[in-house]
Amino acid sequence: MSSQRLGFAWFLLAAGLVFAGDPYRPAGFLQFPDTVKMGALSSVAVASNGHIYVLHRGSPPLLEFDANRRYLRGWGEGLFKVAHGLRIDAAGSIWTTDNGNHVVRKFSSDGKLLVTLGEVDQGGAGQDHFRSPDDIVIDSHGTLFIADSGNGRIVHLDASGRYLSEWGTKGDAPGQFKMAHGLAIDRRDRIYVADRGNNRVQVFMPDGKLVAVWSGFGNPYGLLIAGSQLLVSEGEVHKIFHLDLDGNIKAGWGGPSVLQLPHFMAVDRDGNLLVAEVNGQRVQIFTRGEHGT
């Protein structure tokens, strides 16, 4: 799709003139107990056993629910400065990013802190430090890619957290990032980067080769591969956009009456979409509509 057509599509979607077939429909919220002091809600992830994990900027910051959405426990008090990204690997280990403390942490499935990558409160570059890491994705081989936002790069680590490679610098040219904020990965291990501030998504091969640059949907915050589509959360207009994997906009929905700064997203084992809302301090649940992904 040409940049002119993308721009026009964005205008129609932002103006509320296009709402393509209700891809998802509201179905309630994840219920938090009174013992949890909620803060800005950054991320949600689903493990292979169906358990749902939530990362927020309240206390305790990490929360676990069973596959029936029943609250189990929370942990991590005193560890996080700006809780941000959350992913679960194939073994059930929990990986998080701390944008304020400049570190990536790995927890066991029962909440034990196993690994801290980077140096707490010491942002930096190089192989042993991060600066404001925002998100993580895990490829089919179990290796990790970190959106190291403050350094304008993607860092590739092995499954144990050992540095392998990196690509990207700060800027607005293709392959550069103003803010490498959100990540997604598809079945081919292609990596999608929400380049927040540059108003685009960039697509890369695992070796860092640039495949595509897509724009026309505003300023991307979070990304998620859902079936054959890429979902893009746009926190400034409180909407979610659907793109096919060629970068064409297929749908857009939401708005301030539905979403309150949608951030990172996940899909549960029943195909429901879970959206972490920063301003809403909640996880909203959506079921697939007639024309869902």
* Confidence band, pLDDT 50/70/90 cuts, at residue 46: very high
Mean pLDDT on 109-119:
96
In which residue are the tokens 């393509």 written? Answer: 20
Mean pLDDT on 18-36:
84
Q: Which domains does the chain have, with CATH numbers?
A: 3-288 (2.120.10.30)
- 285 sits in which H/E element: strand 282-288
Mean pLDDT on 79-99:
97
pLDDT at res. 55: 98
Whether pLDDT at 290 is above 70: no
* Confidence band, pLDDT 50/70/90 cuts, at residue 289: confident
Mean pLDDT on 266-293:
89
Q: Select from 174, 171, 168 the least CA-distant residue to 156.
A: 168
Q: What gap in Å lies between CA 218 and CA 10, rounded to an integer?
A: 7
Whether pLDDT at 11 is above 90: no
- Average pLDDT of the chain is 92
pLDDT at res. 21: 56
Instruction: Write the pLDDT tens digit of every residue in 200-213.
Output: 999 999 999 999 99
pLDDT at res. 67: 97
Instruction: Write the pLDDT tens digit of every residue in 219-276.
Output: 999 999 999 999 999 999 999 999 999 999 999 999 999 999 999 999 999 999 999 9
User: Which pTM was predicted?
Assistant: 0.92
* Confidence band, pLDDT 50/70/90 cuts, at residue 23: confident
The proportion of the chain whose per-residue pLDDT surpasses 70, expressed as a percent, equals: 91
Q: Select from 278, 263, 274, 284 the least CA-distant residue to 58.
A: 278
Whether pLDDT at 5 is above 60: no
Are residues 182 and 221 in contact, defined by beta-carbon separation less than 8 angstroms? yes
CA 178: distance to chain centroid? 17
Mean pLDDT on 46-59:
98
- 165 sits in which H/E element: strand 163-167
Q: Residues near 15 by Cβ (< 8 Å), separated by ≥ 6?
A: none
Whether pLDDT at 13 is above 80: no
Mean pLDDT on 179-199:
98
* Confidence band, pLDDT 50/70/90 cuts, at residue 86: very high
Instruction: Write the pLDDT tens digit of every residue in 118-174.
Output: 999 999 999 999 999 999 999 999 999 999 999 999 999 999 999 999 999 999 999
